[in-house]
Amino acid sequence: MSAAAEPLRDTDLGESELEARVRSLWRTPRGVIGWLSSVDHKQIALRYIVTAFFFMGLAGIGAVVMRLQLATPDAHVVNPDRYDQLFTMHGSTMMFLFAVPIMQAVGLYFVPLMIGTREVAFPRLNAFSYWNYLFGCLFLWFCFFSNNGPDVGWFSYTPLSLSQYNVGHRADFWAQMITYTEVAGLSVAVIMIVTVFKMRAPGMTLDRIPLFTWSSLVTAFMIVFAMPAVVVVSTMLILDRMVNTHFFDSSLGGDNLLFQHLFWFFGHPEVYFIFIPATGFVSSIIPTFARRPMFGHTAVVLSLVATAFMSFGLWVHHMFVTGLPRLGESFFTASSMAIAVPSGIQIFCWIATLWSGRPVFRTPLLFVLGFIFNFVIGGLTGVMVASVPLDTQVHDTYFVVAHFHYVLIGGSVFPLIAAVYYWFPKVTGRMLSETVGRWNFWIAFVGFNLAFFPMHILGLEGMPRRVYTYSAEMPWGTLNLLSTIGAIIFASSFLLLLWNIVRSLRRGEAAGPNPWDGDTLEWATSSPPPPQNFTRIPVVTSLTPLWEHRETLPAVAGLRVDRREVLVSTLTEAEPDIRESSPEPSIWPLFAAIATGCTFLGSIYTPWAIIYGALPVTITLIGWFWPKGTKEDES
Which residues between 65 and 124 bind other proteins (CB under 8 A)? 79-81, 84
Q: Which residue, 74 or 632, has its beta carbon nearer to other proteins?
A: 74
Query: Which is nearest to 127 in space by CA: 608, 586, 627?
Result: 586
Q: Of residues 452-471, which lie at the interface with other proteins (CB under 8 A)?
A: 460-462, 464-471
Cβ of 35: how many Cβ atoms within 10 Å? 13
Radius of gyration of the chain from its Cα atoms, rounded to whole angstroms: 25
User: Taking a C-beta distance cutoff of 8 angstroms, is the pair 426, 371 a contact?
Assistant: no
Residue of 176, 283, 333, 569 that binds other proteins (CB under 8 A) = 333
Residue of 11, 250, 606, 635 that binds other proteins (CB under 8 A) = 250
Q: Of residues 540-559, which lie at the interface with other proteins (CB under 8 A)?
A: 547
Q: Of residues 270-299, which lie at the interface with other proteins (CB under 8 A)?
A: 291-293, 295-296
Residue of 7, 57, 159, 528 that binds other proteins (CB under 8 A) = 159
User: What is the closest distance, in whole angstroms, from the C-beta atom of residue 251 to other proteins in the complex?
Assistant: 7
User: What is the closest distance, in whole angstroms, from the C-beta atom of residue 275 to other proteins in the complex?
Assistant: 17
Binding status of residue 390 toward other proteins by CB under 8 A: yes
Binding status of residue 328 toward other proteins by CB under 8 A: no
Q: Which residue, 312 or 547, has its beta carbon nearer to other proteins?
A: 547
Q: Which residue, 153 or 554, has its beta carbon nearer to other proteins?
A: 153
Binding status of residue 257 toward other proteins by CB under 8 A: yes
- Exposure pattern of 511-529 as b/e (b: 16+ CB <10 Å)? bebbbbebbbbbbbbebeb
User: Taking a C-beta distance cutoff of 8 angstroms, is the pair 243, 326 a contact?
Assistant: no
User: What is the closest distance, in whole angstroms, from the C-beta atom of residue 157 to other proteins in the complex?
Assistant: 6
Binding status of residue 221 toward other proteins by CB under 8 A: no
Binding status of residue 435 toward other proteins by CB under 8 A: no
Q: Which residue, 540 or 590, has its beta carbon nearer to other proteins?
A: 540
- Exposure pattern of 451-473 as b/e (b: 16+ CB <10 Å)? bbbbbbbbbeeebeeeebebeee
User: What is the closest distance, in whole angstroms, from the C-beta atom of residue 358 to other proteins in the complex?
Assistant: 5
Q: Which residue, 366 or 482, has its beta carbon nearer to other proteins?
A: 366
Residue of 66, 377, 417, 501 that binds other proteins (CB under 8 A) = 377
Residue of 206, 302, 474, 498 that binds other proteins (CB under 8 A) = 474
Number of residues that bind other proteins (CB under 8 A): 86
Q: Which residue, 48 or 414, has its beta carbon nearer to other proteins?
A: 414
Bond before 515 cis per omega within 30 degrees: no
User: Taking a C-beta distance cutoff of 8 angstroms, is the pair 291, 358 a contact?
Assistant: yes
User: What is the closest distance, in whole angstroms, from the C-beta atom of residue 227 to other proteins in the complex?
Assistant: 24
Termini Cα distance of the chain: 7
Residue 588: which residues within 8 A CB-CB, separation 6 or more?
124, 620, 621, 623, 624
Residue of 157, 221, 404, 439 that binds other proteins (CB under 8 A) = 157
As a whole number of angstroms, the longest Cα–Cα distance in the chain is 86
Strand partners, 464: 397
Can you list the positions of beta strands (E) in 511-618? 565-569, 576-581
Q: Which residue, 296 or 513, has its beta carbon nearer to other proteins?
A: 296
Q: How far apart are CA 69 and CA 484, in angstroms?
A: 9
User: What is the closest distance, in whole angstroms, from the C-beta atom of residue 464 to other proteins in the complex?
Assistant: 5
Residues 206, 211, 212, 217, CA torsion sign: positive
User: Taking a C-beta distance cutoff of 8 angstroms, is the pair 553, 539 a contact?
Assistant: yes
Strand partners, 297: none
Binding status of residue 356 toward other proteins by CB under 8 A: yes
Part of the chain binding other proteins (CB under 8 A), chosen from 197-205, 237-245, 365-373, 577-585: 365-373
Residue of 103, 204, 220, 347 that binds other proteins (CB under 8 A) = 347
Q: Which amino acid is at 277?
A: P
Query: Which is nearest to 605 in space by CA: 328, 342, 241?
Result: 241
Bond before 159 cis per omega within 30 degrees: yes
Q: Half-sphere exposure (CA, 13 Å, Cβ side) for 27?
A: 10
Rounded to 5 degrees, φ, ψ at 36 are -75, -20
Binding status of residue 258 toward other proteins by CB under 8 A: no
Binding status of residue 254 toward other proteins by CB under 8 A: yes
Binding status of residue 348 toward other proteins by CB under 8 A: yes
Rounded to 5 degrees, φ, ψ at 193 are -60, -50
User: What is the closest distance, in whole angstroms, from the C-beta atom of residue 335 to other proteins in the complex?
Assistant: 10
Three-class SS of 82-125: HHHHHHHHHHHHHHHHHHHHHHHHHHHHHHHHHCCCCCCCCHHH
Part of the chain binding other proteins (CB under 8 A), chosen from 251-259, 411-419, 437-445, 619-627: 251-259
Q: Which residue, 428 or 541, has its beta carbon nearer to other proteins?
A: 541
Binding status of residue 313 toward other proteins by CB under 8 A: no
Strand partners, 569: 576
Q: Which amino acid is at 526?
A: S
Part of the chain binding other proteins (CB under 8 A), chosen from 12-20, 327-335, 561-569, 607-615: 327-335
Part of the chain binding other proteins (CB under 8 A), chosen from 131-139, 172-180, 322-330, 438-446: 322-330
Residue of 24, 392, 572, 635 that binds other proteins (CB under 8 A) = 392
Q: Of residues 492-551, which lie at the interface with other proteins (CB under 8 A)?
A: 517, 547
User: Taking a C-beta distance cutoff of 8 angstroms, is the pair 555, 539 a contact?
Assistant: yes
Residue of 19, 235, 255, 496 that binds other proteins (CB under 8 A) = 255
